[in-house]
Structure formats: C-alpha cells, structure tokens
Amino acid sequence: MDVSIIFNPAAGNRQKKRLDCIVDALNAAGAVVTILPTHQAGDAERYAYDFTHDARKSGVTSDGKRLAVAGGDGTINEAINGLVRAEGGALGIIPLGTANVLALEMGLASHPQAIADAILHGEETAISIGLVNNRAFFLMVGVGFDSQAVANVDLQLKRWTGKGAYAWSALKTWVKNKLPLLDVTIDGTHYSTTTVVVSNAQRYGGASILAPDTDLTSPSFEVCMLKESGRRALLTFAFALAFDRVASLKNLIHVHAHHITIRSHADHGAPVQVDGDAAGKTPLNITLLDGKISLFYPRVRADA
C-alpha cells in the first residue's frame, strides 16, 4: 500500500523523531511512504485536495493508496478542508500537536504501531463536518472566553510551553473580563450569552468532556452557552473543564442544533476560534455537512 503523509517540518525535531518512528512501523508493514512537507499556510489543504482529486480521477481506491496528516488539530483542519473541496475523501491521523483532541475522540492510541495499524487497517468511518462561513471544521467553533484567550496566545510561549501558553492567556482574559454580548440563533430560537461553543465532538481542549451528547458521527451539533459570565462564573467554568466536571455545571445551557448564527454587539465583531486556532471574527453562519468525509478509526480503541 502507498501512504502519503502531509507533515509540517516546522513542528520541530521532537515531533519529526516521533513521525520517523511511525514511518518505520509503516515501512515494516510493507507500506511505501511519501512525505509531503508543508511550507506555508494552505499547503496541507492543497495536498489533500490534489491527492483525493487525482486518486478519484485515476480510479484508485483507499485499498491501494491512503492519505494521512501528521500534526495538531490546526493542520488536520487544513487537510479536511482540502477533502471538502474535493467533495469527499478519507484521512488517517498522526497526532503530533499540543492537545490532539481528534485523536482522543477517535480512541487512537499514542503508540507508533497503533497509529500505523489505524492508517493501514483502520475502519473507514464517515464523520459529520461543520461549515462556519463555508469553511470546514471538525471539533468546535468558540466565541467568547475561549476565543479571546486563543486570539491572545503568545505564539513564542506556545512553542516553549504548549498548553501553558493557553492557560496564561486564559488567566489574562479572565482578569480583563471584557466579553461582548452575543446574539445566538439556534434553529430559529434566539439566545443571548457572552460565551458559546458549537461542538461537533465531545471533548474540548484535551480529555475534558464539554458536549457529552454528541460525537464526530452524530448528525447534529451540541451548542454550549454560559448563562452568566462574571469572573466567578468564568472561573468555575474553567475549573470544570480542567477537572472534567462540566456535567455538574448549572450555569451551562446545552442545545442540539443543525443551523446556528452568531453575532456580536461589539463594533468590530468578536474573536472566533475554530478547532483551537484563531479564525477571524463574527458574524458567523454555521451549518452541518454530513457524511462526505471519513477517518480511518482504529479497530481497537484506546478508551475501550
């Protein structure tokens, strides 16, 4: 089997060594591996589109060639957008990022052999993809406390500390506590809040469960909104996420949805995060794209 792997060389030597171990496992299983290095934003999307378009044009199925992406959730987001542009496709996941929420959602173990097995022999499973202003996402869209923190992350600190940079930015956001009011419309019903997360997956930021009643294969989103957003409410929310106690929060509204619009009362819009990365500002129009994208899930899940 031929396996093409999209990889960002800027990930660093430690991540490159991890990728090398996975490539060794693929080679040992008889796969022929090609690395597709990215050099700038948009390369991962282009690689994914070209691979899928060319394979479909030549009649090659996933039994003969497979595409994988090595990186964090942001790099994976780019690759999935390439598949959406190609109107469908399948992707293997090699988690190398800070949080790797997608790998946790899939039950993908971290051992190189387990990752290689999932790419070569995994179950091709259709997932639901969200579209935010016609741009694809697979985990979540957030506006409010989390998006302000993501927008203000020190990228150099992130390279040194990983999740620590997000924690520091969240603390600064909490101290300032200047969150604009948001108008959220969910399938025709109107809500007001200062923090909203549209979830296409259960987990948020790591292993914590934010949206227990949805998952990647569910045909709907779970929208989570804070009723109150003072400093005490935000601190309680942050601790609940950190210690996986969101289910006990009385300050959180959960609504199932297919179509969401979000507008801000701020003059120039509110910052937005998509799959953990800063992604412009409101207003937003969010819909569901069902069944066109597949991931190679492990046959034995790590959380089983």
pTM of the shown model: 0.87
- Does residue 234 contact residue 174 with C-beta atoms inside 8 Å? yes
In this structure, the answer to whether residues 62 and 110 fall within a common structural domain is yes
Q: Report the mean per-residue pLDDT for the chain.
A: 87
Residues 80 and 10 in one domain: yes
pLDDT of residue 156: 60
pLDDT of 140:
93
Indicate the number of domains in the chain.
Answer: 2
CA–CA gap between residue 186 and residue 221 (Å, rounded): 10
- Min mean pLDDT across 10-24, 79-93, 290-304 is at 290-304
Q: Does residue 284 share a domain with residue 178?
A: yes
59: CATH: 3.40.50.10330
Distance between CA 59 and CA 139 in Å, rounded?
31
Please indicate, yes or no, whether residues 79 and 179 belong to a single structural domain of this protein.
no
pLDDT tens per residue, range 44-66: 999 999 999 888 877 666 668 99
Q: Output 90 or 277, whichever has higher pLDDT.
A: 90
Whether 36 contacts 60, CB under 8 Å? no
In a domain, 131, yes or no: no
pLDDT at site 115: 96
pLDDT at 303: 64
299 inside domain: no
Quick one: pLDDT band at residue 301, thresholds 50, 70, 90? Answer: confident
Number of C-beta neighbours around residue 264 at 10 A? 22
Q: Where does the pLDDT of residue 84 fall: very low under 50, low under 70, confident under 90, or very high at 90 and above?
A: very high
Within a 13 Å sphere around the CA of 27, how many CA atoms are in the beta-carbon half?
A: 9
- Domain limits for position 234: 137-288
Q: What is the mean pLDDT of residues 238-257?
A: 83
Asked if the structure places residue 115 within a domain, the reply is yes
* Residues 105 and 156 reside in one and the same domain: no
pLDDT of residue 98: 67
Is residue 174 domain-shared with residue 234, that is, in the same domain?
yes
- SS3 of 3-60: the string is EEEEECHHHCHHHHHHHHHHHHHHHHCCCEEEEEECCCCCHHHHHHHHHHHHHHHHCC
Both tokens of 23, joined, read: 């490539």
Residue 207: per-residue pLDDT: 80
Residue 236 has pLDDT above 60, yes or no: yes
Q: Is the peptide bond before 271 cis (omega within 30 degrees of 0)?
A: no
Structure tokens at 211: 């949206």
pLDDT digits (tens, 9 = 90+) for 212-225: 999 999 999 999 99
Residue 178: the pLDDT is 72
CATH number for the domain including 250?
2.60.200.40
* Cα-based distances in Å from 174 to 170, 250, 267: 6, 20, 21
Using a 10 angstrom Cβ sphere, with 0-12 exposed, 13-18 middle and 19 or more buried, the burial of residue 219 is: exposed
pLDDT at 154 over 70: no
pLDDT, position 165: 55
Mean pLDDT of 23-39: 96
Q: What is the pLDDT of residue 175?
A: 57
